[in-house]
Amino acid sequence: MSAKRASSARNRTERAVVTAAVSVWARDRAATLPQIAEAAEVGRTTLHRYFPEREGLVRAATEHALEVVGGSIAEAEPHRGHPLAAMRRVVAALASASEAIMFAFGDQSLLRDDAPTTEPDLPAPHDPVIELIRRGQAEGVFDDQLSAEWIQQVLWAVSYTAFEQVEQGALAKFDLIATVTRTLERGITAQAGEPAGSEPQP
């Protein structure tokens, strides 16, 4: 039992450090390890015991950030309901994971360095957002003259810009989801203002 408690405490401490790193580096990529330790409310010696090198903490933070984003999207259940309502849930999910997104996607080299090497003939990994967009296009809700990948990139770009605007004080946090949703729906729906199908329910 003592060993289990020690392991649990270690896991909590490590997670606190990694979570703090994501939060701090999302706003200041040049933040130091002592600043991360302060944000995690641990001593510098403790942080260095878990992550002796900055590079190791960056990798762990990147993995954690991607897990947070993926988990948030999964919880939004993009496969369920009217495509427009599902997209609104995805936007809300991304907003809930804004720190993780700003950290992981603010520096594309993090994703390149963290990306696993795969054989070129293997199928692409499951992407629930792409599947949602294609479903919406098939149902006449989203513009099928745009590629699903392009629409996804627009979703990420608009969301990331909105997160930056909130950080800079140019956009109120409570307006974030509505602003992103309005921008998307006016740009990607098959008939702007009059999406096909029945009125979506959130």
pTM for the full predicted model: 0.80
- What's the CA gap between 167 and 182, in Å, rounded? 20
Q: Which tokens in the block code for residue 37?
A: 């330790």
Question: What's the distance, Cα to Cα, between the start and end of the chain in Å?
Answer: 46
User: Half-sphere exposure of residue 104, counting CA atoms within 13 Å on the CB side?
Assistant: 24
**C-alpha separations of 185 from 178, 188, 200 in Å:** 10, 6, 12
Rounded to whole angstroms, the Cα distance separating 84 from 132 reads 9
Tokens 């009217």 sit at which residue? 82
pLDDT in tens, 51-98: 999 999 999 999 999 999 999 999 999 999 999 999 999 999 999 999
Residue 119 has pLDDT above 50, yes or no: no
* Among 52, 64, 79, residue whose Cα is nearest residue 24: 64
